[in-house]
Each structure stands twice: as structure tokens, then as C-alpha cells.
Amino acid sequence: MHQLSRIVSVVADNQDEFDPNDVTPGVAGFVLTIVIMLIVVFLVIDMVRRIRRVNYRAEVREQLAAEAAAEAEGAKADVAGDADGGAVDGGSADGRAEDASGEASSR
């Protein structure tokens, strides 16, 4: 143990005076830090833009699916109405329109 402390003291005596200019990043370090910061900011902005785009596309898909389901439901109701023999436009099954009294009249 005593030898280890002697080696440490010899190494410490052989080192030169501490120069703070040797350990500072300087202009190159400052420029590199700014460049990395700008790259990160641009990447975050791009990521937010892409996430918004994905969310908007999902909303549009949901709206289209809802519209398609509504159209399919409407088509099912139309098919069910036609299967009853009733016309969709309020006319009779033989193509003549019905008046307010319920009697069929020719157009």
C-alpha cells in the first residue's frame, strides 16, 4: 500500500502545471454544440409534422369508414323497402304515384 502512494506522488510530481486552455472546448466545440442543437430542433419539428399527418390520416379514414357504414346501412334500408313491395319515392309498386288520399293516380 505504501508503494502505491509513492507511485501516485511521483506521477503527480511529473505532471506539468494545469493549463485551463488545454481543457476548454474552444470555438470548434461551441460550433459543434450549436450544430447538434439545430439538428435536434429540426428533427423534432419534422417528427411533430409526421405525427400530425398520421393523426389526420387516421381521422380521415375513420370518417370515410363511418360514411361507408352509413351508406351501407342506407342501402340495406333501401333494399329492405324494395323487398316489401313499397317504392322508395312514395309511389305504388306499379309505378303510379299516390296522392294524399292514398289512391294511385297516373302522371
Pairing of strands 97-98, 104-105: antiparallel
Q: Return the higher-pLDDT residue of 38 and 11.
A: 38
Domain residue ranges in the chain: 48-77
Supply the pTM of this predicted model: 0.46
pLDDT number for residue 107: 47
Q: Return the higher-pLDDT residue of 73 and 14.
A: 73
pLDDT in tens, 76-102: 877 776 655 555 555 555 555 555 565
